[in-house]
Structure 1
Amino acid sequence: MGSIDYASTAAPTPEGALERTHRRRAAAMAQPLISERVAAPLREVLIEAGQWRRVPAGQPLFEQGEHCETMWLLLEGSVCLGHHDSQGEWRQFRLAEAGEWMGCAACWLRESHNLRAVAAVDVLAVGMSRAQIDAWAAEDPAAWRAAMESVVDALAELQLQQTRQAVRRESLDALGRVSEWLLDMWRRQGSTVRFIQRKKYVASQLAITPETFSRCLRQLEEEQCISGAGYELQILAPDLLRQKARPRCEDKAAAARAGA
C-alpha cells in the first residue's frame, strides 16, 4: 500500500516497547493537527493508540470492496473518493480535506468500502479500528459516548453540506458549476489555485465532461475572470465568478423583478 502504520499490536517485548515509543512520538508531533472539534477523550485515544499512516500521493488509503476495519481522520493532505465504472473510468464522488472522517459508516456497520480513497497529495491520517471502538465502549461508556457524538456531529455537518452542494449544483449550468468550484478553491488556496488532481477528475465531480470543463475554463479566461495555464490558475475577478455561479432560478427572479 505504500504507507507507514505506526500502530503496534505486538507483545510487550523490548521491540514492542520501542515501537510504542516511536508511535507515541509520531503521534505527539501530529497532535496539533487533530481538530479541537474532536472530543477530548477521542483525541487522547487517537494520540495514544491510533493507527497513524502516511500515504504517498497516488496511493490508496483504502480500496473499494475492501472490508472496512478502521475509521480514518484525515490530518494532512487531500483524498480523492470515488469508484471505477463498468468501463473502468474513474468517477469522483468528492475530495476529502484535512479534518474529515472517512470510512465511518462501513466501519460501524462492518461492511466493505463502497468507494476507493486515493491520496491526491501526500497524506497523514489517524485511524481507530472497530475492535478498539468496541473495547473502549465496554471500558468507559461515558467517554466513548462523548467521542462518538463528536464524530456523528462532524459527519452530519458534512452530509448536510454535501446535500446543499448537490441541490445547488442541480440549479447551475456547466459554467456556473465550474465558477463555483473555482470560488471554493479560491477560498481555500487564495488567488493562486493549484490543481491537486487531474482535471478530468474535477469534471467528474462536477458531473460534466472533461471537454466541457476545459471549454468553461477557456471562456472564463477570455472574460478575464481567470488567467493561467496547465495546473495553476490565477483568480482575477471573484465577483464575476460569483455572478456566473448564481443559480438560474435567481436570474429568472431578477429578470421578473426588472420587468415588473
Structure 2
Amino acid sequence: MLYIVGLGSGERYLTKEAEEILNNVDLIVCYKGYKKYIEKFNKPTYTSGMTKEIDRVEKALSEAKNKDVALVSTGDPNVYGLASLAYELNYIKNYNVKIKVIPGITACLLAASILGSPLHDFVVISFSDLLTPLDKILKRFKLALEGDYVICIYNPLSKRRKEPFLKAVEIMREFNKNYIIGIVKNAGRENEEKRITDFKDLYKNLNEYLEYIDMNTIIIIGNSETYVIDNKMITPRGYLNKYKVIPCYKK
C-alpha cells in the first residue's frame, strides 16, 4: 500500500491521520530536504534530491508492492505535490499498487489565516515555470484578475527566476486597481513573517519586494472587495449586504 502523505505547513499542522500512518508504515520516502520533519517517526527512510521526483515515486511504488510505504511532502500532496505523478506512473508502468492520498494543510490556507480572512472565491497559481510554460501561467493569472478572484501565488520568485513575477506585476498594472496584497514568509515555521500592503506600494518599492519575497513566500492578492480591518486582510462573503447590516468599517 502506498500512502501519499501531506505533512502540512510546519510541524504543528500535521493531521492526526497523517501521524498515525507515519507511525505505522514500513518505509518513508521523501525529498532530502524534508528528512528533518520525519526523523521523529524512527522509520527506514529513502531520500533523494531536487529533480529526482520520478526516482522517489518509482522507489515508493516498487517498495509498496510488498510493504506499507509513505511518500511524503510538505503541505498537501495534491497542491504541487507528487500525488498525480504517483497515479500516472502506477498506471503507465503497471505497478498495480493501491494508493491513498492523505491531505495536509497547504500553505495558502495557513497564510490566509495568518493574514486574517482574505479568501472567498479564489485561484491558486504557481509562478514556477519549470513544469508549466510561462505564457500559460501568465494567461491564467490575467484571467483570474479578469474574473475578480482572490489569487494565491506559490513559488513567486527565486534569485534566478524573477521574470514570471515581474510580468505578473505589469499585468496587474494594466488593470489599474490598487489591490490589497498579503505576503507571508515561512508560514507555520520559524521566522514566520507577514506584510499587508497594496499594489501601489508594491510597485513603488518593487526592488525592495524583490529582495524580500522568496520561494518560501505565499502571496495573496485580494479581489475588488478585499480591504483591511485592524491590520487584517478581509474579503467579505456578503453577509452584511444580504442581511442589510451597516458595516462599521469603510474600504
Q: TM-score with structure 1 length normalisation?
A: 0.31
Greater helix percent: which structure?
A: 1
**Which has more radius of gyration?**
1
Q: TM-score with structure 2 length normalisation?
A: 0.32
Task: Name the structure, 1 or 2, with higher relative contact order (CA <8 Å, separation 6+).
Answer: 2
